[in-house]
């Protein structure tokens, strides 16, 4: 299956959020919106008050890098994907209730240095796992290659759950993440720092496909 490349948006103003959404209209099916509270991570971004009337035509996934994520989820109605960090969860049942009440779907994210075993108690409740390719908090960070082992391990453990990699994804890293088992690749600066966001998405997708389809030089004929 062809990897899905998802524009990730990390901004502080609704005007910038809307502008970035429109820049990828017709080029992407899904939009990944980073939400930070300056507590769980040292940065602050757009929040629930900015999400009323988001443009139609996209599937939205909200990446909640916040403390008490259930309180944030409760403010956003609709069939959206809500991804919370396992490190921020203190009451998983409350998170599940909040997501169900607003009609959403649930995902879980894990930071680079958190043991993957932390996901075991919640994996049966989620549709997607986000493996962070960087320490969460800021856009433009360098990809951590060691996360590829985590991607492969999670794909082996949970083959029916979509695996998304967020952070450090660009043409030079997309193939590596994809080959490790990622189904979805979220990219922010690699898309929005380019003059043509649509071409940037295509470049990442093609890099992932090329690396995945290339013959392994270690294979013996």
Q: Which residues are annotated as catalytic?
A: 34, 166
DSSP 50-93: G-TTPPSSSEEEEEEESSSHHHHHTT--SS-EEEEEGGG-S-HH
- Is 186 in contact with 221 (CB distance < 8 Å)? no
Q: Which has the minimum average pLDDT: 17-26, 51-60, 138-147?
A: 138-147
Tell the CATH topology of 4-212. TIM Barrel (3.20.20)
Domain residues of the chain, as ranges? 4-212
Distance CA 146, CA 183 (A): 18
Summarised one tens digit per residue, pLDDT across range 117-138 is 999 999 999 999 999 999 998 8
As given in the structure block, the two tokens for residue 212 are 């995945």
Burial of residue 28 (CB within 10 Å: 0-12, 13-18, 19+) is buried
Distance CA 84, CA 75 (A): 14
Closest CA to 24 of 209, 204, 219: 204
Model confidence band, residue 210 (pLDDT cutoffs 50, 70, 90): confident
Summarised one tens digit per residue, pLDDT across range 23-81 is 999 999 999 999 999 999 999 999 999 999 999 999 999 999 999 999 999 999 999 99
Q: What is the mean pLDDT of residues 154-158?
A: 98
The pLDDT of residue 22 is above 80: yes
């Amino acid at each position: 299956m062809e990897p899905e490349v998802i524009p990730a948006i990390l901004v502080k103003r609704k005007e910038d959020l809307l502008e970035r959404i429109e820049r990828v209209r017709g080029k992407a099916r899904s939009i990944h919106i980073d939400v930070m509270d300056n507590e769980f991570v040292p940065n602050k971004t757009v929040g629930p008050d900015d999400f009323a009337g988001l443009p139609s035509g996209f599937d939205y996934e909200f990446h909640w890098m916040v403390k008490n994520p259930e309180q944030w989820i409760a403010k956003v109605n609709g069939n959206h994907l809500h991804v919370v960090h396992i490190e921020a969860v203190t009451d998983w049942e409350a998170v599940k209730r909040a997501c169900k009440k607003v009609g959403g779907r649930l995902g879980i994210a894990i930071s680079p240095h958190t043991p993957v075993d932390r996901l075991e108690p919640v994996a049966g409740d989620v549709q997607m796992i986000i493996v962070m390719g960087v320490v969460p908090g800021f856009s433009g960070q360098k990809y951590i290659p060691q996360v590829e082992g985590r991607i492969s391990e999670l794909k082996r453990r949970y083959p029916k759950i979509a695996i998304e990699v967020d952070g450090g994804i660009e043409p030079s890293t997309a193939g590596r993440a994809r080959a490790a088992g990622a189904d979805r690749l979220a990219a922010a600066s690699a898309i929005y720092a380019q003059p043509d966001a649509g071409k940037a998405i295509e470049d990442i997708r093609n890099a992932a496909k090329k690396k995945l389809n290339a013959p392994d030089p270690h294979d013996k004929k």
